[in-house]
Amino acid sequence: MSEHLDDALLTAIADRFGTPTYVYDLDRMGRRLAALQAALPGAVILYAVKANPNGAVLRSLASSGAGAEVITVGELERAARAGVAPERILVGGPAQDPVLVARAAALGAGLVSLDSPGQWRDWSGRETAARFLVRVNPGLDPHTHEHLATGAPDSKFGLAPGPALALARAVAAWGKLAGFHVHAGSMIRDLTVYDAVFDVLEPLYRALPGLSLLDLGGGFAVPDFPLERFAERAGELAGRLGVSLVIEPGRFLTAAAGTLLTRLVRVKEGGPRTHAIADAGMADLLRPALYGARHAVRALGAPGSGTDANVEAVAGAAKGAEASGTPVDVDGPLCENADRLARDAGLAVPAPGTLLAIAEAGAYGFAMASNYASSLRPAEVAVEHGRFRLVRRRERAEDLWRLEDPEPDAGP
């Protein structure tokens, strides 16, 4: 079975709902979750809601056994609304403001990751069913983009091993300590990073015997994370320590299952680069501008078409364009030079109206979309068992000012 949605189906979605539109393959997400469950039997899998918070995605993953990792009240409410059982929700993040703490305690969230002693002071005075993890900053180079290096020494996340152990002892004295939590970074491919993390964690567990959980976070690289080798190493450590594993995958489950559909509006030739201006840009997909991320781009055929013949023709023309040495960039519509979806996209010089598919857009795509320049956020469509449905409508102009200038008696 192909791991990619059929071009004809994507074209039909674009024709029905317009562009830009995000498309999520829920079946593919389910297969990714099943692969994790098979590789790490017995592990507690908590989906990192920030990757893609759409309700259809949350409901699909929850129905297949995933819990949720949340960092805001909005994510907490989304998870609960999607049917995630409270005891399978972990509250994390470096802030945990009073509203989040109060709501999570009232809801009965099962796990809390403590990022600082200040968070513990806020939680320790409350009646709560939660058990607690202490987040450790391993102080290492996770071999990833600096914005994704959450386990680096100067990161804002977690505590160095010494202070982490001191906080853990305080939590243990209250009878609420479940274990430790590390999230070394995102888009990690190099398993030696985890070897270094394990070297930091093992002495902490030896100092506090009898703990039950080890949370290794997420951050698995897409598309080529060595899952089986990671599972073997992590499982061996968990066995030595006598604990169950917790993992928090986000991107790993959703990235490759998402496609951003966009149409070209203008094509500018005559300079050192050809600029193909699309109707999607950094307001829709921020990752290229924020992280320098590269997303594969392919043309789905001539405007209003999606036949194999048109796709083959576009691919053949692309080879000719590459041979000529003319680079084609796919750029967004905004007045920002960072508003580029793909440099050197490997496309032929395409015509306005050409439909493009931006790959691996199921994580941190719509979740980071904004109304910058009064852009209207795109539609979202879910595909399941070969059928598609709208799961979030495209914003309209009136949505931009709907929350502005409330009535004096409308409250905050």
Contacts of range 123-131, beta carbons closer than 8 Å, 24 or more positions apart:
124/174, 126/101, 126/102, 129/87, 130/91, 130/104, 130/105, 130/176, 131/176, 131/177, 131/178, 131/213
Listed in sequence order, the DSSP H helices in 226-352 are 227-241, 251-254, 287-291, 308-324
Helix axes 26-39, 55-63, angle to 10 degrees: 40
* Contacts within 8 Å (CB) and 24+ apart, 172-176: 172/208, 174/124, 176/130, 176/131, 176/132
**Kindly report the CA angle at 324 between 321 and 329, in degrees rounded to 5?**
50
Q: Residue 179 catalytic?
A: no
Which residue among the candidates 335, 397, 403, 410 is catalytic per the annotation? 335
Query: 29-40 in b/e burial notation, b at 16+ Cβ within 10 A?
Result: bbebbeebeebb
Write phi, then psi, for 220 (nearest 5 degrees): -65, 135
CB-based burial, 205-244: b 16+ in 10 Å, e otherwise: beebeebebbbbbbbbbbeebebeebbeebbebbeebebb
Question: d(Cα 136, Cα 307) in Å, to the nearest integer?
Answer: 52
Catalytic amino acids? 335
